[in-house]
Amino acid sequence: MTATTDCPCQSKKPFSACCEPYIAGKASAPTAEALMRARYTSYATGKIDFIEKTHAPESRADFDRKASEKWAKDSTWKGLAVVATKDGGPQDTTGIVSFIAGFSQGGKDYEHHEIATFRKEGTNWLFVDGKSPKPETHVNTGPDVGRNDPCHCGSNKKFKKCHGK
């Protein structure tokens, strides 16, 4: 990756002015979102040392380096979309970043949705944990119609024989 190449995190900044200084250890990410973007870029560029280094101490035991290296190597990274952030600014000590990381493996496209929690220790943001967002629950607000009830269209047929097909 060259200094003028766009950063994989899709910030529209050159890699050298975006995530590279954090990954190379020349600077600390100023926000939780900046760290999350640098972690995505680390996967995209195969720099797994940075992923391991930016785990909070309590979550390092859960980090599987070999699996992370394999995932990074076997994937083609398609892009990153930040869905939402909560706190995680330069003056905060904790932050949450919701994001979608696109990648492909074996010719199939995937999206990794995560809500990541970060904590600041000194001047360094650390990844604490990540959770998958809960799927939205659909609540039916209409009347409950059973299969053997009369159809709502007025055909005098049972629902299952009319609109219930």
Per residue in 3-55, pLDDT tens?
569 999 999 999 999 999 999 999 999 999 999 999 999 999 999 999 999 99
Q: Which residue has the higher pLDDT, 140 or 127?
A: 127
Please determine, looking at this structure, whether the domain spanning 15-135 carries the CATH number 3.10.450.50: yes
Q: Which two tokens stand for residue 77?
A: 């990274």
- The ranges assigned to domains in the chain are 15-135
Burial 14-38 (b: 16+ CB within 10 A, else e): ebeebbbebbeeeeebebbbbbbbb
- What average pLDDT is seen over the chain? 92
What percent of the chain is modeled with pLDDT above 90?
77
What lies within 8 Å, CB to CB, of 10 at 6+ separation is 79, 80, 81
Q: Is the pLDDT of residue 142 over 70?
A: no
Number of other CB atoms surrounding residue 51 within 10 Å? 20
